[in-house]
C-alpha cells in the first residue's frame, strides 16, 4: 500500500495504544455512574450487582423520604442564592480588574481566586469559629456565606475569561457615540459577558448544590442539604434509595447541560475559560 493510502487510515488503526487508553479512560469515568444507574432500578433490597430484576420502587421510596425532600429544597435555595450573590460581587470585581485602573490588580484578582486553592475544611472551620461561635451568626447565614465565598472564583475567573476575549474598542466606541457608563454596560458589556455569566452560573450552582465539606461543617437545624442527607443515610442503610436519588441528580445535570447547549452553546460558554 502506498504512503498516501496508509495516511488515510483512521487514527484508531494507526494508534491502537491510544485507542485502548481512551477506551479505558471512558470506562473508568463512566463505570461507576453506570453501576449506580443499574443498581437504582433493582428489585432487590440491597445494593448488589448485577441487579436483581427491574423495579421503580426505590425512586418512590426516595420521593417519600422527608429528609431528602427537605435537603433538596435547602440545597436548591442555598445554591441559587449563593450563585446570585457571587455573580453580583464577581461581575463588578471582574470589570474593575480588567477594565478599571485599580491599583494592585493582581493582588485583588488573586484574593478573589484564593478560595479555590484553600481547603474547604479549613474554610468551613474558620467560618464556624469566627461567625457562628464568635459572632453568633445563624447556621443558615454562615452556610450561605460559605457557599458564596466558594463560588467567587468561578464568578470572577469565568466572567473574566469572557471579558478578556472581548474587544475594548466596542465599549470605547459606545462611549464615543455619547453612551453613558450605565448604557454602555447594559448595551455592550453585558452582552459580551453573557456567555461567561451563563458558565459561571452553571458551574457555581452545580458546585454549591453538590458540596459536602462546607455543608457538613456549617449545617444546623433546618439547614441540612441533600448531599449531607444522602451521606447520613448511607451510614445507617444499605438499600438502593441513594442510588435512585443519584440517578435523578444525574438526569437533572444532563438536562441542564442540554439546555445550556441549546441556549448558549458549550463553545461560547467554556471556550475562553482556559485563556
Q: What is the pLDDT of residues 120-144, one digit of tens each?
A: 888 888 888 888 888 888 888 889 9
pLDDT of residue 257: 76
pLDDT at 92 > cutoff 80: yes
- Using a CB cutoff of 8 Å and minimum separation of 24, what contacts does 61-69 make? 61/239, 61/241, 61/244, 62/241, 62/242, 62/244, 62/245, 62/248, 65/233, 65/241, 67/224, 67/229, 67/232, 67/233, 68/226, 68/229, 68/230, 68/233, 68/245
Question: What is the per-residue pLDDT across 177-192, written as a single tens digit (0 to 9) for each?
Answer: 767 667 777 677 777 7
Cell numbers for 140, please give them. Answer: 443558615
pLDDT at 165 > cutoff 80: no
pTM (predicted TM-score) = 0.78
pLDDT of residue 135: 85
Residue 84 confidence class, pLDDT cut points 50, 70, 90: very high
Q: Tell me what the pLDDT averaged over the chain comes to.
A: 78
Q: Are the C-beta atoms of residues 218 and 142 closer than 8 Å to each other?
A: yes
Residue 159 confidence class, pLDDT cut points 50, 70, 90: confident
- For CATH 1.10.3720.10, the residue range(s) in the chain are 59-270
59-270 CATH, one of 1.10.150.110, 1.10.3720.10, 3.30.1330.60, 1.10.260.40: 1.10.3720.10
Residue 25 confidence class, pLDDT cut points 50, 70, 90: confident
Question: What is the per-residue pLDDT across 193-249, written as a single tens digit (0 to 9) for each?
Answer: 787 888 888 888 888 898 888 888 888 777 888 888 888 888 887 888 888 888 888
Compare 227 and 10 and report the one with higher pLDDT.
227
Least Cα distance to 155 among 98, 89, 105, 110 occurs for: 89
> Distance (Å, rounded) from C-alpha 181 to C-alpha 183?
6
pLDDT of residue 130: 85
Least Cα distance to 246 among 233, 259, 261 occurs for: 233
Residue 8 confidence class, pLDDT cut points 50, 70, 90: very low
Q: Of the ranges 152-156, 192-196, 233-237, 262-266, which one carries the lowest mean pLDDT score?
A: 262-266
pLDDT of residue 18: 79
Start-end of H helices in 114-189: 120-127, 139-165, 168-176, 181-184
Amino acid at each position: 500500500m502506498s504512503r498516501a493510502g496508509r495516511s488515510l487510515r483512521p487514527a484508531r488503526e494507526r494508534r491502537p495504544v491510544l485507542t485502548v487508553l481512551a477506551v479505558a479512560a471512558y470506562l473508568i469515568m463512566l463505570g461507576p455512574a453506570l453501576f449506580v444507574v443499574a443498581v437504582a432500578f433493582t428489585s432487590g433490597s440491597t445494593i448488589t450487582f448485577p441487579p436483581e430484576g427491574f423495579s421503580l420502587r426505590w425512586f418512590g421510596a426516595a420521593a417519600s423520604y422527608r429528609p431528602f425532600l427537605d435537603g433538596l429544597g435547602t440545597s436548591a435555595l442555598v445554591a441559587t442564592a449563593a450563585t446570585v450573590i457571587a455573580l453580583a460581587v464577581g461581575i463588578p470585581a471582574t470589570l474593575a480588574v480588567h477594565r478599571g485602573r485599580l491599583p494592585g490588580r493582581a493582588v485583588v484578582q488573586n484574593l478573589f481566586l484564593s478560595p479555590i486553592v484553600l481547603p474547604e475544611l479549613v474554610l468551613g472551620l474558620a467560618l464556624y469559629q469566627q461567625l457562628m461561635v464568635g459572632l453568633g451568626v445563624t447556621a443558615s447565614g454562615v452556610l450561605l456565606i460559605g457557599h458564596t465565598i466558594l463560588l467567587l472564583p468561578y464568578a470572577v475567573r469565568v466572567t473574566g475569561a469572557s471579558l478578556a476575549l472581548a474587544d475594548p474598542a466596542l465599549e470605547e466606541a459606545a462611549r464615543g457615540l455619547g453612551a453613558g457608563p450605565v448604557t454602555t454596560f447594559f448595551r455592550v458589556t453585558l452582552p459580551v459577558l453573557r456567555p461567561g455569566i451563563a458558565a459561571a452560573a452553571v458551574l457555581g450552582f452545580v458546585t454549591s448544590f453538590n458540596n459536602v465539606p462546607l455543608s457538613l461543617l456549617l449545617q444546623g437545624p433546618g439547614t441540612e442539604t441533600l448531599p449531607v442527607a444522602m451521606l447520613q443515610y448511607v451510614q445507617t442503610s444499605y438499600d438502593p434509595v441513594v442510588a435512585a436519588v443519584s440517578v435523578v441528580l444525574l438526569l437533572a445535570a444532563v438536562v441542564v447541560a442540554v439546555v445550556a447547549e441549546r441556549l448558549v452553546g458549550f463553545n461560547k460558554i467554556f471556550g475562553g475559560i482556559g485563556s
